[in-house]
A = this chain, B = another copy of it.
Amino acid sequence: MGKGLPEELAQQLAARFGERFSTSQAVRLQHGTDESAYEPCPPDAVVFAQSTEEVAEVVRLCAAQRVPVIPFGVGSSVEGHLLAVEGGVSIDLSRMNRVLAVRTEDLTATVQAGVTREDLNRELAHSGFFFSVDPGANASIGGMVATSASGTNTVRYGTMRDNILSLTVVTAEGEVLRTARRARKSSAGYCLTQLFCGSEGTLGIITEVTVKLHPQPEAVAAAVVNFADVKGAVDCVIQAIQTGVALARAEMLDALTMRAINAHSKTTLPEAPTLFLEFGGSEAQVREQGAALQAIAQDCGGGEFQWALRPEERSRLWTPRHHAYFAALQLRPGSRSFTTDACVPISQLAACLAETVDDIATSGLVAPVFGHVGDGNFHCLLLVDPRNAEEVRIAEELSERLMRRALRYDGTCTGEHGVGLHKIPYLEEEHGATAVEVMRRIKRALDPHNILNPGKVVRLAGSEARAA
């Protein structure tokens, strides 16, 4: 925890930012709370920035006093990224919410970091183009870059990493850089765009993002289909990918998640493993892809397909999927979720899932499971009463076993949520000591005084702390 803001810095920030500087308990608490099960950890103060230059000013003032800075988007991250574990100033970017340019002729848009994905897609509504990355939450684009987010339509359009062209970043010294121009590809030097993507605020603060846009497909079809078991649902998607059937989305919800949805939405959907699917393209392509998938599904023990073609019908059909996370939490009112994020090579997904489902059954926890099957990525919501230490311990151990299981299958401990606070120990198991030492060297090179979101992603030795 921090030792409070140096008086001089507080005065400087108050003088410069007026009402946009706050040390109120409520504002600090909000900025020290994310969607994870971890205890809130408020910063010493919050600044609401309105421009890249303002972010740079805050960083320069804080850097002079070696005070940590923690970027804040909408607070939807789930790995403790925004918890101010070493105190400092939270820089709230939510007022940096302008779409700076939409260039449909280039299939790109440039936004301030605080623009949310829904904001951007609203702005694009009548353009014929859309921004594809959809992690569920209405996250800020800057936050999505910082965590290398992905989500439901990664199988077709890629992750955040695949959908960015250029970033504006404030460095640890409070200088401003742009990582790239707007060409669709470049070999001009080390790829800083991809280095800052996924760096979780520890190498620089992302203030503007140029993203790729995609043409709205002429036709879209949604479908839902149940399977006898999880393996059938997974095999169906994997076979589709292996044979080149283009899926726009392919989400698997397990029986417990379906039960949660029925309870939450007063529906009577079959409580069996279910695939939520989406196809896009020309009318003929969509028909062809749908037929190909139905044939594969039948081989994998799938039932009847429910189809929806018109936007409002599709939206209705997919609503249960969109509500899955909150419905699942309601399985145990008052519980919080330890949300796992394993991702394995797709051929290993069925096996990894099966072992995990067995492990959950043995643990006695209530833990709905759903996944972005086409990416090999799935989440277990380990629902625990945070006041029940035994339950918390069981959940933590289960989560640990799952991460190690993912690594055994040559997968990753985090497919899309990031490292944050609690996955640091697994980073070394995943990448090895040499690779993590390279990461530490990069951190030291770019943030020598360790003021950028300290304590996340990589841990530096005590001698390198700011106080030293």
Q: A181-B407, A191-B194 are in contact. Are A343 and B435 (CB under 8 A)?
A: no
Query: Complex: how many Å from CA A198 to CA B180?
Result: 14
Are B417's CB and A187's CB within 8 A?
Answer: yes
Whole-angstrom CA separation of A387 from B305 in the bound complex: 71
Instruction: From A295-303, A394-402, A440-448, give the one contacting chain B.
Output: A440-448
| Interface size, A (range) | 35 or more
B106 close to A434 (CB less than 8 A)? no
Minimal Cβ-Cβ distance residue in B for A435? B177
Q: How far is the CA of A422 from the CA of B31 in the complex (A)?
A: 48
- In the assembled complex, how far is the CB of residue A206 from the closest CB belonging to chain B, in whole angstroms? 14
Among A178, A186, A198, A242, find the residue whose CB has the most chain B CB atoms closer than 10 A: A186
Chain A contact residues: helix, strand, loop or mixed: loop
CB closest residue in chain B, given A204: B438
Of B184, B282, B438, the contact of A288 (CB 8 Å cutoff): B282
Count copies of this chain in the complex.
2
Closest to A415 in B: B185
Determine if A183 and B345 form an interchain contact, defined as CB atoms under 8 angstroms apart: yes
Q: Is A123 an interface residue (CB 8 A)?
A: no
Interface of chain A residues 336 through 364 with chain B (CB within 8 A): 341, 343-348
The distance in angstroms between the C-alpha atoms of A103 and B177, with both chains bound, is 40
Query: Does A416 count as interface, using CB distance less than 8 angstroms?
Result: yes
Q: Which of B105, B182, B184, B189 contacts A431 (CB 8 A)?
A: B189
Contact B185 A416 (CB under 8 A): yes
Which residue among A195, A407, A444 has the maximum number of chain B CB atoms within 10 Å of its CB? A195
A179 within 8 A of B: yes
A413 adjacent to chain B (CB < 8 Å):
yes
> Which residue from B105, B406, B438, B441 sits with its C-beta under 8 Å from A346?
B105
Task: Specify which chain B residues have a CB less than 8 angstroms from the CB of A419 in the assembled complex.
Answer: 187-189
Which one of B197, B345, B438 contacts A177 once the chains associate, using CB atoms below 8 Å?
B438
Which residues on the B side are within 8 Å of A158 (C-beta)? 162
Residues of B within 8 Å of A311, CB to CB, are none
B434 touches A183 (CB 8 A): no
- CA–CA, A431 and B410, complex, Å: 36
A198 in complex: contacting residue of B106, B191, B458, CB < 8 Å: B191
Flag A373-385 by CB within 8 Å of B: 1 or 0 each: 0011100000000
The reply to whether A190 and B346 contact each other, CB–CB distance below 8 Å, is no
Contact with B along A432-465 (1 / 0, CB 8 A): 1011101101111110000000000110000000
In the complex, how many angstroms separate the beta carbon of A86 from the nearest chain B beta carbon? 19
Could you mark each residue 206-236 of chain A with 1 if its beta carbon is under 8 Å from any beta carbon of chain B, else 0?
Answer: 0000000011111000000000000000000
Q: Which residue of B lies closest to A347 (CB)?
A: B105
Q: How far is the CA of A97 from the CA of B373 in the complex (A)?
A: 34
Nearest Cβ in chain B — how far from A197, in angstroms?
Answer: 7
- Bound Cα distance A263, B147 (Å): 54
List chain B residues, Cβ under 8 A from A159: 185
Contacts of A410 in B (CB 8 A): 181-183
Min Cβ gap A108→B in Å is 7
- The answer to whether A412 and B183 have CB atoms under 8 Å apart is yes
CB closest residue in chain B, given A165: B345
Given contacts A176-B434, A187-B418, A284-B284, 18 further A-B contacts (CB under 8 A): A106-B346, A147-B187, A181-B407, A183-B343, A183-B415, A184-B377, A186-B343, A188-B427, A189-B419, A189-B457, A190-B198, A190-B439, A190-B458, A191-B194, A194-B195, A217-B244, A281-B285, A284-B285
Ranked 7 nearest A-B pairs via Cβ: A194-B194, A215-B244, A445-B445, A105-B347, A186-B412, A177-B434, A441-B445
| Sampled A-B contacts (16; CB under 8 Å) | A148-B191, A149-B187, A161-B191, A177-B431, A178-B432, A180-B431, A183-B345, A183-B410, A185-B343, A186-B414, A188-B423, A188-B426, A188-B430, A189-B458, A195-B195, A282-B285
